[in-house]
Amino acid sequence: MKNLTIIVLLALAGLLGYWFGGQHENVGAGETASVAAPAGKKLLYYRNPMGLPDTSPVPKKDSMGMDYLPVYEGEDEGDDSSVKISTAKVQKLGVRTETVSRRDLSRPIRAVGRVEVDERRIFTVAPKFEGWIERLHVNTTGQPVGKGQPLFEVYSPELVSAQREYQVAARGVAALSNAGPEAQASIRQVAEASLARLANWDISTEQIAALKAGNEPRRNLSFRSPVGGVVLDKKAVQGMRFMPGEALFQIADLASVWVLAEVFERDLAAVKLGQAVEVSLDAYPGKTFIGKVSYLYPTLNAQTRTVPVRIELPNPEGLLRPAMYANAEIKVGAGGTALVVPISAVIDSGTSQRIIVQKDEGRFEPREVKLGLRSDDYVEVKEGVAEGEQVVVSANFLIDSESNLKAALGGMKEKPSVSHHAMGTLDSIESDGSVMITHEPVASLNWPKMTMAFVPANAALVAGLKPGTAMHFEFVERKPGEWVITKIEKH
């Protein structure tokens, strides 16, 4: 009798433990549902956590052991694209927002280029008379020269002849001082013509003045530089003979240079004449040169899809040397303040751009926007949001996915789908993936026993099943007349 009592007590203890265990599980499930329950909101149903078109009126788990998610009154109302996320989940996802505001917006158009000589400051020394170089004063390429500095000493029979003509004419003017006006005028014209010929041959005013002062004609005259700059090319050699128009020197003034920057075709519309440009060179790390856009070339390079843009730079210290590589940043502005959001707030699908707007605490709405000018950190928004609204700048892709899921579910049903349960036998698996099942009566739909077609939610549900298999299955109506199986259990 005593043994029988012990056995009964042990059985009762086991039953109590099983009952308390079940109660603990139920309490845990209730707690999971109630934690996220908004105050005063009615629980409507539970939806599949993986986004399948499957709902349940009671808590349950999917085939992977994940809890179905509760949906409360008000969460399925309004715009299908609007989603509500609990505060705990917002914190877990790391959602951050920023206010839409107005600010000065500018962005640099970055381009690479090279330093070139200003073509307007290149001069060629080409005497207009025939002669010989008897002494060369500037005899190296790259040598700096000043305006009026002697380049070479030249002997030319034409120069000597012109000097002597002037000397004779000057003496004639003195001898005919008592002659008639016509004779004086004629001899004076001869003298002036001789001086004009020397001036036209680029003989310096100092040498002409010395000749007018009564000095004797010189066999050699100095040919001076017409400009100051640097010798880029020197063909003059001491003792050589040159002909009229022959280029002996090429001199460039490097006080101002050009940078020819290659701007991509997509950025060309934003480049305007007079825009400020910052130029940096590898030769001078940390040093910036300021210039401006002076010309946009009318041709495009078909291989690189770039257009040369001319940038003028002052070069008073001579640091910028032709053929140096340069990096240019052209400052492009929006012409005042613009309504902007951080670039991280924009979700670009390739065909459209969206921004997630926080409507109130825990509720988010995706909106399509029209964008404008971009800077390194911000982008102009022309349509879609208003100043002062809060936009999501982190975890926005996750919220957008949640919104797309809700929109997809909303498109599949006009009201929440409810799962139905039935017993049945698999008759066949059709070529289009559907299955024919003879099922028992379905009380939730008032269906009698019949044979009909169902669509598996995924092919894995019917993998390995053969005709004649008895099963218990769950299904929902995805759209009118289309019944989708979400779970199968063989019997």
User: Does the structure show a pLDDT above 50 at 411?
Assistant: no
Q: What's the confidence (pLDDT) of residue 338?
A: 82
Q: Does 195 lie in the same domain as 273?
A: no
Instruction: Give tens-digit pLDDT for 462-490.
Output: 888 899 999 999 998 877 778 899 999 98
Q: Does 436 lie in the same domain as 354?
A: no
- Give the number of C-alpha atoms closer than 13 A to the C-alpha of residue 446, restricted to the C-beta side: 0
User: Does the structure show a pLDDT above 90 at 240?
Assistant: yes
Q: Does 346 lie in the same domain as 292?
A: yes
User: Does the structure show a pLDDT above 70 at 32?
Assistant: no
pLDDT band at 412 (very low <50, low <70, confident <90, very high): very low
Exposed (0-12), middle (13-18) or buried (19+): which is 51, by Cβ within 10 Å?
Answer: middle
Q: What's the confidence (pLDDT) of residue 30?
A: 39
Looking at residue 405, which CATH number applies to its domain?
Answer: 2.40.30.170
DSSP character string of 202-223: T--HHHHHHHHTTPPPPSEEEE
Q: Which of 35-39, 205-209, 328-332 has the lowest mean pLDDT?
A: 35-39
Q: Does 87 lie in the same domain as 12?
A: no
**What average pLDDT does this structure show over 219-236?**
90
Which of 413, 437, 457 terminates a domain? The answer is 413
Q: Does 359 lie in the same domain as 242?
A: no
The answer to whether 311 touches 277, Cβ cutoff 8 Å, is: yes
Pull the structure tokens for residue 14: 């086991």
Q: Does 429 lie in the same domain as 289?
A: no
Report percent pLDDT > 90 for the chain.
32
Instruction: Give tens-digit pLDDT for 311-363.
Output: 999 998 889 999 999 999 987 765 567 888 888 888 887 778 888 888 877 77
Q: Does 406 lie in the same domain as 389?
A: yes
Which of 367, 382, 413 terminates a domain? The answer is 413
Three-class SS of the chain: CHHHHHHHHHHHHHHHHHHHHHHHHHHHHHHHHHHCCCCCCCEEEEECCCCCCCEECCCCECCCCCECEEEECCCCCCCCCCEECCHHHHHHHCCEEEECEEEEEEEEEEEEEEEEECHHHEEEECCCCCEEEEEECCCCCCCEECCCCEEEEEECHHHHHHHHHHHHHHHHHHHCCCCCHHHHHHHHHHHHHHHHHHHHCCCCHHHHHHHHCCCCCCCEEEEECCCCEEEEEECCCCCCEECCCCCCEEEECCCEEEEEEEEEHHHHHHCCCCCEEEEECCCCCCCEEEEEEEEECCCCECCCCEEEEEEEEECCCCCCCCCCEEEEEEEEEEEEEEEEEEHHHEEECCCCEEEEEEEECCEEEEEECEEEEECCCEEEEEECCCCCCEEEEECHHHHHHHHHHHHHHHHHCCCCCCCEEEEEEEEEECCCCCEEEEECCECCCCECCEEEEEEECCHHHHCCCCCCCEEEEEEEEEECCEEEEEEEEEC
The answer to whether 54 touches 412, Cβ cutoff 8 Å, is: no
Distances (CA, A) of 57 to 44, 259, 485: 7, 72, 17
The answer to whether 457 touches 55, Cβ cutoff 8 Å, is: no
Residue 476's CB is within 10 A of a number of other CB atoms, namely 23
User: Does the structure show a pLDDT above 80 at 116?
Assistant: yes
Q: Does 438 lie in the same domain as 386?
A: no
Q: What's the confidence (pLDDT) of residue 482?
A: 85
How far is residue 348 CA from its own chain's centroid?
13
**What average pLDDT does this structure show over 158-173?**
78
Q: Does 393 lie in the same domain as 258?
A: yes
Q: What's the confidence (pLDDT) of residue 278?
A: 93
d(CA 70, CA 85): 12
Beta strands in 282-431 (DSSP E): 288-296, 306-314, 325-342, 346-348, 353-360, 363-368, 370-374, 378-383, 390-394, 420-429
First-to-last C-alpha distance (Å) of the chain: 43
pLDDT band at 279 (very low <50, low <70, confident <90, very high): very high
Q: Total structural domains in the chain?
A: 4
Please give the residue that has the higher pLDDT: either 161 or 245: 245
Q: What's the confidence (pLDDT) of residue 249?
A: 94
Distances (CA, A) of 8 to 3, 15, 19, 190: 9, 11, 16, 151
Q: What's the confidence (pLDDT) of residue 58?
A: 81
Looking at residue 431, which CATH number applies to its domain?
Answer: 2.40.50.320
Q: Does 436 lie in the same domain as 402?
A: no
pLDDT band at 24 (very low <50, low <70, confident <90, very high): very low
d(CA 456, CA 488): 9
User: Does the structure show a pLDDT above 60 at 92?
Assistant: yes
Query: Across all residues in the chain, what is the average pLDDT?
Result: 80
Q: What's the confidence (pLDDT) of residue 16?
A: 42
Pairing verdict, β 363-368 and 144-145: unpaired
d(CA 1, CA 80): 69
d(CA 135, CA 222): 9
Q: Does 407 lie in the same domain as 261?
A: yes
**What average pLDDT does this structure show over 142-149?**
91
Report the range out of 193-197, 222-226, 350-354 with the highest average pLDDT.
222-226
Instruction: Give tens-digit pLDDT for 286-315.
Output: 899 999 999 999 999 999 999 999 999 999
Q: What's the confidence (pLDDT) of residue 26?
A: 39
Q: Does 266 lie in the same domain as 386?
A: yes
Which of 78, 108, 143 terminates a domain? The answer is 78
- Structural domain span for residue 29: 2-78
Residue 34's CB is within 10 A of a number of other CB atoms, namely 11
d(CA 428, CA 399): 41
Report the range out of 31-40, 99-108, 215-224, 244-253 with the highest average pLDDT.
244-253
Q: What's the confidence (pLDDT) of residue 87?
A: 73
Report the range out of 10-24, 87-101, 200-214, 303-317 with the highest average pLDDT.
303-317
Q: What's the confidence (pLDDT) of residue 28?
A: 38
